[in-house]
A and B are shown apart, each in its own frame.
Chain A
């Protein structure tokens, strides 16, 4: 890639649980170019949030991170001390969390919380930080911004709180924004507004964005590149067009059959389904992680780890033993679950 802001190679996260070691994230590699939006999509428990937290080095104590390469704008983040890492958090790399009520401190005014990041990272006066906060609150569409600075989080609605979170993440013009399910707690109308805003601002400030979500609709509309995650692994990566128009991994294909689409799926008819449940990630798994639920499973899936392979197109990769041709024909075949 031309100008990668973030490069990650072979990221692994192991969590100690009473029954053994849980491999929450396994050999995840990706890079994000300047100004690019990468969406990581997957179901609950697949390791998307752990991936984001491990980039920020915010993992719980019981989790161990192993990574071959982790650079932000050319700077190695692997061996940084906690203090150095906190210089980066909120400055070069900022995070937007899912639940704006729990990620804002109820005891401080939003002005206080907005200014904090800037006062911590930049040599500015309180007045300058306040001006920046007002500027950004207006940018995210909050009216009477200056008077809002004295308000507390409970005085704002969910949509407004999430706007404050976005403004907060932009305080130091980060090179990379990590947004973990930023709209899941919001109404559809507000969700559309927030995503619209996020796309616009990302453009304006030329930040890169990693958006984590379980909603395929959001992914299709927002992403430049998509990574589909299943049971701790990236099972398919590519541009939004590649992944949605020619999904190659059986899991991606199954997911896309599961969702009702107004105008496309027929009303009242059965939707596709992925039978079975997500495998237990405790202990070593030496086979395709999706094998237990895959409609095309055969012997080759059970032996050894499955490598990523390229499809017909450039930069479109998927983790399956089937050939690109076989995957394309699977897409046409209707699976009876």
Chain B
């Protein structure tokens, strides 16, 4: 790829989980062989159920976790080799819960200027004016500069988190569920703000969310994760119009849009999200899949397609499962 700002290649992260007293440890592959490219200026949405490895992947991009194997490159630099301070200059996070991600004993001004302090910014006399400038941009009144987080509303706190992320002019912002702790009316304000800031600073976003409507609205490309693997990637338009992987279909089917009279869809997904310590054999999705075939439980599915438009499913392997695929797949194939 020509202009990738994040290159994740074949990254795996394994945690050793205690199986019980005196029972030794078991390994949990939180992220299992993920390859991903994020291009400059795009908004990559990562969706999936809780426990699928979205946040672990984000933490590795942030350099907060070391990958067990594989490499991550940020803007050409390998994450492991560059020191954390340098990574932080390129990439900044916005976390889910603005109530726990801000230090309650620091003033808003201190919180927003902390990245400058950490980066040893050479002009401390400009810090306050820069902080006020960025506060203005994110829609915070400058009178809250000396206030504490407890005096602000949830939406305002999230604005503080955004201001803190942007004060060093990073290239990439990782938004981990940026609005799921907020009310709808505040959510729309924050989403609008993120859009504006992206245009203003030419930012690249990695947007992690379980709210598919938000992802559809914000993202240019979407990656669907299931049990530590990316099972489908496509641009937003294609993914929402013609999902290929049965899991993506089920996810999209469970989006509840505010349209009365449609009822609650039946996702046919079955009850249990599998235990990630002991994942199913073959295709890890097969116990919940509506289009499961005989060999799904035996062989791991092949990866079909290139990096930026791929699906990992037996249905799309050559010659296999043409019948099971049905109409939808044919539509998707045409493109």
Contacts and interface: CB of A to CB of B under 8 A. Distances in A.
B188 interface: yes
A103 interface: no
A283 to B, nearest CB: 19
Nearest to B185: A274
Given A219-B258, A259-B184, A192 B192 contact: no
B49 A258 contact: no
* Contact residues on B (Cβ < 8 Å of other chain), bracket: 35 or more
Nearest to A270: B192
A277 B188 contact: no
A189 B267 contact: yes
A272 B191 CA distance: 10
B182 to A, nearest CB: 9
Contacts, number: 148
Contacts of B218: 267-268
Contacts of B50: 158, 187
Given A216-B184, A259-B184, A268 B271 contact: no
Instruction: Identify which of B212, B259, B265, B269 gathers the most chain A CB atoms within 10 Å of its CB.
Output: B259
Instruction: Identify which of B185, B189, B261 gathers the most chain A CB atoms within 10 Å of its CB.
Output: B185
A330 B170 CA distance: 41
A223 B264 CA distance: 11
B324 interface: no
A214 B266 CA distance: 22
Given A258-B184, A259-B188, A189 B271 contact: no
Contact of B255 (A188, A196, A243, A275): A188
Instruction: Identify which of B189, B216, B254, B258 gathers the most chain A CB atoms within 10 Å of its CB.
Output: B258
Given A157-B272, A241-B261, A260 B213 contact: yes
A216 B184 CA distance: 9
Interface string A224-246: 00000000000000011101110
Given A43-B185, A187-B210, A195-B264, A157 B273 contact: yes
Contact of B258 (A142, A188, A259, A272): A259
A259 B213 contact: yes
A188 B189 contact: no
A255 B258 CA distance: 11
Nearest to A143: B271
A218 B256 contact: yes
Interface in B156-193: 183-185, 187-189, 191-192
B263 interface: yes
Contact of B263 (A221, A254, A257): A221
Contacts of B1: none
Nearest to B139: A275
Given A157-B273, A188-B212, A255-B185, A245 B260 contact: yes
* Contact residues on A (Cβ < 8 Å of other chain), bracket: 35 or more
Contacts of B210: 187-188
B49 A217 contact: no
A88 interface: no
A189 B210 CA distance: 10
Contacts of A273: 185, 188-189, 192
B305 to A, nearest CB: 22
Contacts of A261: 213, 257-259
Contacts of A219: 258
B257 A217 contact: yes
A271 interface: yes
Given A193-B269, A262-B240, A274-B185, A220 B258 contact: yes
A67 interface: no
Interface of A: 43-44, 141-143, 157-160, 163, 187-193, 195-196, 199, 214-223, 239-241, 243-245, 254-265, 267-268, 270-275, 277
7 contacts: A43-B183, A191-B254, A214-B184, A216-B258, A259-B187, A259-B188, A259-B258
Leading 5 A-B pairs by shortest Cβ distance? A217-B256, A260-B217, A192-B254, A240-B260, A258-B188
Given A188-B251, A189-B49, A221-B256, 7 more contacts: A159-B272, A163-B271, A199-B263, A216-B258, A244-B260, A267-B236, A268-B195
